[in-house]
Amino acid sequence: MATRHSPDRLPWPPLPMKATSGQLPTGDDWVFEPKWDGHRALVRTGATPTVASSTGRDRTGAWPWLAEALAGRCPPGVVLDAEVIALDDDGRHRFSLVGDAAAPHALVVFDVLATGDEVVTAEPWRDRRRRLEALVEPGPQLVVTSVTDDGSALWAVTAEQRYEGVVAKRADSAYLPGRRSPSWVKSKHRATQEFVVGGWLEGTGRRADGLGSLLLGVHDDEGVLRYAGSAGSGLTDRSRAEWQALLEPLAASEAPFAPPPRVDRRRVRWARPELVAQVAFAEWTDDGRLRHPVVEGRRHDVDPTAVQREPAPADPTSPSS
């Protein structure tokens, strides 16, 4: 049942509900959506939509095109949970292009939290989905995510089309703001996750005067930041300069990792662990290091204190029950 909308019940910005990582579940209680590889966005509609990241940071100025994308396609006063994506020349969405002014962007909507004066988070997913379809009219830059009850088929399609993975949701699940719930399960096709950036190594050769690679880490169960390795692959000259400009104001005299990693002291520059990068990689080594990491971009929508090591990508041949 919907509840009256009040700041006490649904403050702005609300924190999004998050999925746990695991294998695709099976059973009639589950529905399945593509996992979009973009930036999470909480949107409050109106003449000028208000946008927040999943960490509560205001992102309204970052996506000025949203006003036109939503105009006439959703009533004012609706709070949506969505993802901002960017498309490459082949029409595939790519995380690394999010924020690139030259790339076309779109808003993919997958849930509704409030409509006018009602909070609907307590309603089951199936009822919120009906509301969503009635409220949002898709357009050139506005998409309502697809959904199916055939998880295996969606897994195969998303793998072929190079999506990040699949999200399974219990059809009777309420929306739990700010919580990571087993009622939503994300399964990825490839090893990729967020890492805290705790410094950088200066480059060598033609990059000797700038940033060569990022120093990455994840928190353990006690909240200690553990070193996971360095990554320079995937960085362009432009992105290296951008990362360096962001990291230099965060310079620190000591390593934020425990224990401090053994790296070249002549080249290392430590930084306060306040930035987050998305990184793809082959696998974890036995000593907790990344093999063949590739930096895909910066995450504006992730709290660095919440970054932990995620399970390996799910094996679709061995689904959980």
Query: How far is residue 214's CA from residue 196's CA, in Å, rounded to a whole number?
Result: 10
Query: How far is residue 63's CA from residue 85's CA, in Å, rounded to a whole number?
Result: 11
So what's the pLDDT on residue 80?
98
So what's the pLDDT on residue 1?
47
Confidence of residue 7 (pLDDT cuts 50, 70, 90): very low
Query: How far is residue 306's CA from residue 301's CA, in Å, rounded to a whole number?
Result: 11
pTM of the model: 0.77
Confidence of residue 162 (pLDDT cuts 50, 70, 90): confident
So what's the pLDDT on residue 315?
56
Structure tokens at 33: 């959506």
Catalytic pick from 18, 35, 186, 188?
35
Confidence of residue 9 (pLDDT cuts 50, 70, 90): low
Query: How far is residue 31's CA from residue 167's CA, in Å, rounded to a whole number?
Result: 8
Report which of 96, 104, 190 is spatially closest to residue 142, judged by C-alpha positions: 104
What are the pLDDT digits (tens) for 74-99? 999 999 999 999 998 888 888 888 88
Is the Cβ–Cβ distance between 289 and 264 less than 8 Å?
no
Could you tell me the CA-to-CA distances from 315 to 71, 312, 318 in Å, in that order? Answer: 41, 9, 6
Is the Cβ–Cβ distance between 307 and 219 less than 8 Å?
yes
Structure tokens at 260: 């401090």
Is the pLDDT score of 3 beyond 60?
A: no
Answer yes or no: 18 catalytic: no
Give me the domains of the chain, ranges plus CATH numbers: 3-188 (3.30.470.30), 192-306 (2.40.50.140)
Could you tell me the CA-to-CA distances from 171 to 28, 35, 183, 184 in Å, in that order? Answer: 9, 17, 9, 10
So what's the pLDDT on residue 277?
97
